[in-house]
Structure 1
Amino acid sequence: MSGLCMAHKLREAGHGDVVIFEKADEVGGTWRENRYPGITCDVPSRFYSYSFAPNPDWSMGFSPGAEIQDYFVRTTDQLGLRGLIRFGEEVTEARWQDGRWRLRTATGSEDEADVLVTAAGILHHPKIPDIPGLQTFAGRVVHSARWDPSIDVERCRVGVIGTGSTGVQLTTALAGRARHLTLFQRTPQWVLPVPNRRYPASTRWVFRHIPPLNRLAHGFYQRLIEAIFAKAVVAPRLGALGRLRAGAPESAAGRAGS
């Protein structure tokens, strides 16, 4: 995703000799790889899009993963970026030599560049926990980043480990489907209801025919997130979330994550 953005902006600035190396056969990164039930984005869709390529047709405030993946595929074609991409070319070596970058890919091909930008994502690489007995567990062991759609969860007793964003999304999707579901957490987590209404056709029509509204919505969410969430992460005692975290008693945190 960041690689597509960089390529577009470089070309827009007049740099025509741009190449994107992509190890897979399609764009999308984490949204291409992750297909677990309930996958969605915890950032409002009108902000989770390129400022130069707004999408008036988001179906929901927080859109599902497949819809986000479709957006990146469609935007790649609309911006004419597909011709810059070398699919199936995973860069395995980058060496600075004689004032240039020397590149080698998994297929054995070589190239060189004056400037090398690393835009490789990390959110689809599974990290399997080192749990005693995991190797001898008789049931299926599946990481969310390698979800197997053939699993018949309606007939399974399912255990989900973790209460991060993925764990919450997966648990919500499986709770009404699995024969039995148990969620294991190490640390209490804040879990709050998120209103995620579906946009009616009239709203999508308005955003499609009045483009400035897309830019206005994007700017609104950008200021909102930077004013609250970004400050809470960088300086926990600043911003609304920082004040909430600093003033919350320990028992309340425990109840919120239970």
Structure 2
Amino acid sequence: MPLSAVVLPAPPPREITLTPHPDLTHHFEEAGFVGSFAAWRADGSGVCVGDCETRRPAASTFKIPHALLALELGVLSGPDHELAWDGVDRGLEVWNHDHTLRTAIRDSAVWYFRRLAPFVGRERMQAGLERFEFGNAEIGEQLDAFWLNGSLRISPREQVAFWHRLHEDAFGVRPEARAALLEMTELARDAHGVLRGKTGWYRMDDAPENVGWFVGCVEREGRTCFATVIHADDPMDRDAFRDARIPLSRVLLAAIGSPAPE
């Protein structure tokens, strides 16, 4: 599926057209998980594998609009804005130290964003969710945990739309804020292109459901924004679940002619 040099205006989620591709479902079966994959190119062509409409907990994929909003509002000064660790052991060594925005995105440090949320505030957070058309835009009762507890839910289609509109500068944010976010989400680059993205994993101690995300964009002779989601109930192999998201996305991107750089 070759990419076109034509770039369409950044549409809202409801206007993105995704063509079903059941021939690609075997990639999920081979990975050992149930899931869905959506991809949309800047030339207007789209792909859907599985269910691209059901909203699932956003989990740490929300760190991207959260960071963008905080940068836009001036709550954070930039990628190197540091917050001090409070000394509480949260079970992951990479979380148990001071973090900048850059490292908090890289290491998916939940405490950094939970502490950030009250500085954005409920009213501005709600306005940001609606401005970005990020899923159901629901905050619920917990301002510092709504993306973690299942209140904020988003579909693969909506994830793809958010990332495409971010790249197309459709949100009207300050150029410095957008540029900083794009730089911080870069995961790989080679002579042929760039991969930007973010993972997410929803899991609650009192429920068996697990939802794993990998979302982002590949720029390679055009742009393909994508969202991969897998889901499974405990008990399961959590290491396999965690490790499946990015490789599975790479396989699917290659299958539609948009291979991601290593």
Q: TM-score range by the shorter chain?
A: under 0.3
In terms of Rg, which structure is larger? 1
Q: Which structure dedicates a bigger proportion of its chain to strand?
A: 2
- Give the TM-score normalised by structure 2: 0.19
Q: Which has the higher contact order (CA 8 A, sep 6+)?
A: 2
- Give the TM-score normalised by structure 1: 0.19
